[in-house]
């Protein structure tokens, strides 16, 4: 029998109706054996995510000594779920223990993790699957970083004898047993960890959209869904702002090449997006897989004549960046110029200091900082060794009257990045989208 690991996100778990839909999906296939769950998300726009409320519980207990008041919301939400689904569980006892432990905790992680914990406990009872606590199988090192080796050992051993299990997402434990969470949206990572540990054939990630879009739907009306994308392409797109999956969720499955299928709980027949290890064979008309972008970048432009023959010039600039803990995006250079493209947030409140240090390090003829740059990545293995993709991008941008301030194409040819003024951000995405995905 094949093994599928299914992770369901917050919207899929938001109330009893959504949860019974989730259980139908699980039961529709015997292969759906390991279920990783998020905490209930928002039921409507005005609602609160359970995880946000749990952080509020921790903050309130820090201020007032107890989280009793905001914890009422947690009690009500889970009570509705348990009552409507008629799950036989002594919810009150669990909630009383959690409230007490939040009041005694010294970090927000324990509180934040309880949303997933309760989701999984209830679902395990509802489905009659075994509950396996993430605290037993997901480990962090003392310095807080994820311990992939130990986790894989523990999770494989614990799950090997269990045919059907429900596991809470988002958290694990430190060596001293204290709960620690991943960053927000981290249940995607937990799902991936479980998929690797049980050598799954497929990791299904169930959410509230039918896959990755080829471009941001806030800018493009009804963009096409990406049918297939490689891990690498997805990394590029997620890094540049496309969000559906936690960017770290790829690492555990990448090691063993397990595909991830993004599926829609509210439209389960949709095929969704398949994320695969190797670049799928592209048809001639599938040069580009997707487009993504981000605003709020700055450029530090350094000029010095004879720069290109001055050994160690770039290294000295890079050490200044390192000194300030800056990780830069791009470093395009000319004969006598070098630009550093970096997130504007790195410069806030210390731009003058950074500039002064660069002047000290390389004595440039001039140094200027420009703000308000947006970066847009056009991503696709299909571009590799094909003539004319860059020309299509730049012709489309010229027609849209967009001035390109910076260009960067890695030699892997899977990605062309353009830098434009932030005001041209949307026009750039529209022009590139219409060129490669438009109906013309």
In a 3-state reduction of DSSP, which class is residue 72? Answer: helix
The 91-130 site mask, x for binding ligand ASP (CB under 6 A), equals ------------------------x---------------
Closer residue to ligand ASP (CB): 185 or 293: 185
Residue 168 touching ligand ASP (CB under 6 A): no
Residue 172 touching ligand ASP (CB under 6 A): no
| Nearest approach, Cβ of residue 104 and ligand ASP (Å) | 22
The 187-226 site mask, x for binding ligand ASP (CB under 6 A), equals xx--------------------------------------
In a 3-state reduction of DSSP, which class is residue 419? Answer: strand
Angstrom distance (rounded) from CA 70 to CA 91: 17
Stretch that binds ligand ASP, among 96-104, 127-135, 179-187, 312-320 (CB under 6 A): 179-187
In a 3-state reduction of DSSP, which class is residue 95? Answer: helix
Closer residue to ligand ASP (CB): 6 or 374: 6
Stretch that binds ligand ASP, among 129-137, 180-188, 257-265, 348-356 (CB under 6 A): 180-188
- By CB under 6 A, the residues from 19 to 38 that bind ligand ASP are 38
Residue 156: is it exposed, middle or buried by C-beta count within 10 angstroms (0-12/13-18/19+)? middle
Angstrom distance (rounded) from CA 277 to CA 295: 29
Residue 49 touching ligand ASP (CB under 6 A): yes
Whose CB is nearest to ligand ASP?
A: 187
Applying CB under 6 A, among 170, 203, 206, 212 the residue interacting with ligand ASP is 170
- Total residues in contact with ligand ASP, by rule CB under 6 A: 14
Phi/psi at 203 (nearest 5 deg)?
Answer: -110, 110
Angstrom distance (rounded) from CA 138 to CA 180: 10
Closer residue to ligand ASP (CB): 12 or 232: 12
| Nearest approach, Cβ of residue 283 and ligand ASP (Å) | 34
Closer residue to ligand ASP (CB): 6 or 397: 6
Q: Which residue has the tokens 């970066």?
A: 375
Integer CA distances (angstroms), 389 to 89, 167, 386, 432, in order: 59, 45, 7, 11
Which residues neighbour 149 within 8 Å (Cβ) at sequence distance 6 or greater?
none
Residue 428 touching ligand ASP (CB under 6 A): no
Residue 51 touching ligand ASP (CB under 6 A): yes
Phi/psi at 141 (nearest 5 deg)?
Answer: -80, 170
In a 3-state reduction of DSSP, which class is residue 205? Answer: strand
Angstrom distance (rounded) from CA 104 to CA 10: 27
Token couple for 355? 């500039």
Integer CA distances (angstroms), 189 to 185, 194, 245, 278, 332, in order: 8, 9, 9, 20, 34
Stretch that binds ligand ASP, among 135-143, 178-186, 344-352, 382-390 (CB under 6 A): 178-186
Which residue ranges make up the site for ligand ASP (CB under 6 A)?
A: 9-10, 38-39, 49, 51, 115, 169-170, 184-188
């Amino acid at each position: 029998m094949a093994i599928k690991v299914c992770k369901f996100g917050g919207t899929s778990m938001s109330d009893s109706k959504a949860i019974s839909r989730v259980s139908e999906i699980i039961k529709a296939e015997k292969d759906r054996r390991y279920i990783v769950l998020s905490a209930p998300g928002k039921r409507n726009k005005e609602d609160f995510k359970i995880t946000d409320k749990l952080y509020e519980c921790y903050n309130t207990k820090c201020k007032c000594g107890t989280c009793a008041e905001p914890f009422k919301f947690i009690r009500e939400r889970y009570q509705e779920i348990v009552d409507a689904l008629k799950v036989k569980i002594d919810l009150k006892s669990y909630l009383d223990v959690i409230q007490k432990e939040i009041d005694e905790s010294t970090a927000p992680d324990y509180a934040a993790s309880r949303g997933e914990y309760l989701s999984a406990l209830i679902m395990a009872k509802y489905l009659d699957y075994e509950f396996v606590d993430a605290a037993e199988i997901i480990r962090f090192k003392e310095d807080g970083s994820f311990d992939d080796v130990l986790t894989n050992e523990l999770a494989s051993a614990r799950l090997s004898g269990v045919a059907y299990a429900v596991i809470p997402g988002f958290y694990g434990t430190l060596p001293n047993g204290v709960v620690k969470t991943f960053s927000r949206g981290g249940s995607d990572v937990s799902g991936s960890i479980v998929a690797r540990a049980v050598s799954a054939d497929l990791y299904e990630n169930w959410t509230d959209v039918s896959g990755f879009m080829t471009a941001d739907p806030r800018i493009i009306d009804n963009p096409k869904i990406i049918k297939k994308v490689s891990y690498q392409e997805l990394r590029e797109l997620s890094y540049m702002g496309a969000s559906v999956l936690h960017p770290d969720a790829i690492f555990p499955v990448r090691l063993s090449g397990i595909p991830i299928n993004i599926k829609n709980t509210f439209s389960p027949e949709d095929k969704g997006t398949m994320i695969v290890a190797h670049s799928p064979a592209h048809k001639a008309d599938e040069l580009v897989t997707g487009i993504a972008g981000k605003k709020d970048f700055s450029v530090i432009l350094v000029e010095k004549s004879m720069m290109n023959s001055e050994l160690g010039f770039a290294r000295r600039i890079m050490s200044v960046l390192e000194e300030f803990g800056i990780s830069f995006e791009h470093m395009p250079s000319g004969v006598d110029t070098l630009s550093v493209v970096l997130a504007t947030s790195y410069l806030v409140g210390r731009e003058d200091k950074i500039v002064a240090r660069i002047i000290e390090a390389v004595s440039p003829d001039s140094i200027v900082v420009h703000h308000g740059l947006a970066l847009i990545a056009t991503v696709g293995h299909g571009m590799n060794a094909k003539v004319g993709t860059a020309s299509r991008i730049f012709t489309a941008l010229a027609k849209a009257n967009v001035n390109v301030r910076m260009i960067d194409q890695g030699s892997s040819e899977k990605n062309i990045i353009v830098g434009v003024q932030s005001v041209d951000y949307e026009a750039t995405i529209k022009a590139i989208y219409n060129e490669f995905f438009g109906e013309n």
